[in-house]
Amino acid sequence: MSQTGSGTAEIVQAPAKLTVSLRVLGRRPGGLHEIEAEMVSVSLADTLVFSEGDGMELHSSDFAPELLQDIPLGEANLVSKALRGCGERAHVRLHKRILPGAGLGGGSSDAAAVLRWAASRGQDSKQLRLLAARLGSDVPFCISGGRALVGGVGERIVPLDFVPRQYALVTPPVGVSTAAAYARWDELGGPTSASGNDLEPAALSLEPALALWKDALAEAVGGSPLLAGSGSTWFVEVKGGPEDTTAEAETIGVVRIGDQTAPIQLVRTLPPLPGGF
């Protein structure tokens, strides 16, 4: 967290969340699913700028405007919900680098950034943790980030030792609804997957074209790509470890399927986040 030169605005980073393994253990009576997952924060991040006032602005130089059109800017946005939930007031300028619908927890990380900002203003961290669980299943992990084993419906966080790794990611222009993926997992009889991600068969059943992007990433960088959560991002570890532990995400290539393209981004894992709790 840092302040701008004027001292009237505060900048908070919101790193993407990568689910590197996911086991779905079953469905609770209320419809939510129990999981056991390893999650890591990576160096692809949105940026939130907090200043005096109200309202929210959305900016991105990474995506075409049509890719952001489904992001609500009113009360339905997770940033607005987080502000409202913790009783804070601010104008937020949100710079998006995490593509919506990528399965990388962009909205959840944005909400968690609000909660870290609220904690820096003296809000009670225990109450903010309770709010995080209400905002979404990925929000509790995104508060502290780093590397953790996540259980329950996302509320149980067991920190794990930080391991520096780097991954190549590609996010196809194909969306998969998380709710639809879990529903299809139920319809398929609750399969487990040898890939380490139990939702991968369900996502491929919903969007078979995802397999083309998986194969294209494998051809481009080698290895056997895995699906991040319910998708649509594919990722593969790039061996050797990051040479620069402070490097931001960088584009290292492009995947093309027909007339559609998607960048290949190289990201590194992050230790627990400053201001996390």
* Residues 231, 201 contacting (CB under 8 angstroms): no
For the question of residue 110 being annotated catalytic, the response is no
Q: Which of 7, 3, 17, 25 is nearest to 182 (CA)?
A: 25
For residue 63, pLDDT beyond 70: no
- How far is Cα 14 from Cα 107, in angstroms, rounded to an integer? 9
Which residue is catalytic, options 81, 138, 198, 214?
138
CATH code assigned to 166-268? 3.30.70
Distance between first and last Cα of the chain: 13
Q: Which of 225, 221, 138 is nearest to 178 (CA)?
A: 138
* Residues 170, 255 contacting (CB under 8 angstroms): yes
Q: How do residues 67-123 score in pLDDT, each as one tens digit?
A: 667 677 778 899 999 999 999 999 999 999 998 888 999 999 999 999 999 999 999
Give residue 6's pLDDT.
Answer: 46
Q: How do residues 249-264 score in pLDDT, each as one tens digit?
A: 999 999 999 999 999 9
* Banded model confidence at residue 61, pLDDT cuts 50, 70, 90: confident
Rounded to two decimals, what is the model's pTM?
Answer: 0.91
Give residue 137's pLDDT.
Answer: 92
- How far is Cα 170 from Cα 254, in angstroms, rounded to an integer? 8
Q: How do residues 219-239 score in pLDDT, each as one tens digit?
A: 999 999 999 999 899 999 998
- How far is Cα 150 from Cα 210, in angstroms, rounded to an integer? 26
- How far is Cα 124 from Cα 200, in angstroms, rounded to an integer? 38
Q: How many helices (H) and strands (E) does the chain have?
A: 7, 12
Query: Domains of the chain: which residue ranges?
Result: 166-268
CA dihedral 198, 200, 206, 208 (to 10 degrees): -150
Which residue is catalytic, options 17, 81, 96, 214?
17
For the question of residue 239 being annotated catalytic, the response is no
Residues near 142 by beta carbon (within 8 Å), at least 6 away in sequence: 14, 15, 17, 41, 105, 108, 109, 111, 112, 113
